[in-house]
Amino acid sequence: MAYIYDEEAVAAIFTGLTSLIPTGILSIVTYVLTALGLYTIAKRRGLNHPWLAWIPVVDVWLLGSLSDQYRYLTRGENKSKRKTLLILGILSTALGIAMLALVISAVVQIVLGAVGGMSEEALLEAVLGLLVSVFGLLLPLAGVSIAYVIIRYMALYDLYKSMDPGNCVLFLVLSIIFSITEPFFIFLNRENELGMPPRKQTDIPRQPPREPWSGDETNYL
């Protein structure tokens, strides 16, 4: 059997695949910079399990812990961004995977039905069922994702402020507008602690005791 190759189609596929290479390299670079930056900061500030920075989805626990630690040490506040971020991150990921699986399954069934001679009425009903299912997952996914993004940027602001209070607003705004800048800000400022209290406070009058921080133990002070 002779096979006929469409050179234009092959060239288009090859071009599409090669265009993914820079995107893949950039994704790896940003992942490494973010993970290394969070790991270095968490380890230096005495947080438990700094290696969580290298695990996708779970790494937000570390970002939340750094935010909670900063709030406790500077304002005496007990926050739980680490728990909220972890829960929202897991929910968002699970809903996204469920939606993707649902769409793929439904599309496959529709295609098989069309090839198998499914009537137009049955095909339309299948498409409507797909749309209803997708919108049923889309609403909670959108709500969870919006809450996750807001709280994550709040935690990121605390991290920036703990590293460089003078530029924390600028860093946050640029991170929101150009997300590619976030890993570089975290990595390049990983050694800065301009917004953190001094490690030794022997010359400062004793402050009233605060409620114990409910997060990981820290040897920062």
For 126-140, give the secondary structure using H, E and C. HHHHHHHHHHHHHHH
CB 84 within 8 A of CB 64: yes
Report which of residues 24 and 68 the model is more confident about.
Answer: 68
User: DSSP E strands: which ranges in the chain?
Assistant: none
Cβ burial, residue 62 (10 Å; 0-12/13-18/19+): buried
pLDDT at 33 > cutoff 90:
yes
Would you say residue 7 has pLDDT above 80?
A: no
96-116 as b/e: b if 16+ CB within 10 A: eeebeeeeeebeeebeeeeee
Question: Of 193 and 212, which is predicted with more confidence?
Answer: 193
Mean pLDDT, residues 208-217: 56
Band of pLDDT at residue 117, cut at 50, 70 and 90:
low
DSSP label of 200: -
What mean pLDDT is predicted for residues 102-123? 70
At 91 the pLDDT is: 93
Domain residue limits, the chain = 9-188
pLDDT at 47: 93
What's the pTM value of the predicted model, to 2 decimals? Answer: 0.77
Checking if the pLDDT of 115 tops 70, the result is no
Structure tokens at 150: 């807001």
4: tokens are 């006929």
Confidence of residue 25 (pLDDT cuts 50, 70, 90): confident
Question: What pLDDT digit, counting tens, does each position of 140-159 carry?
Answer: 889 999 999 999 999 999 99
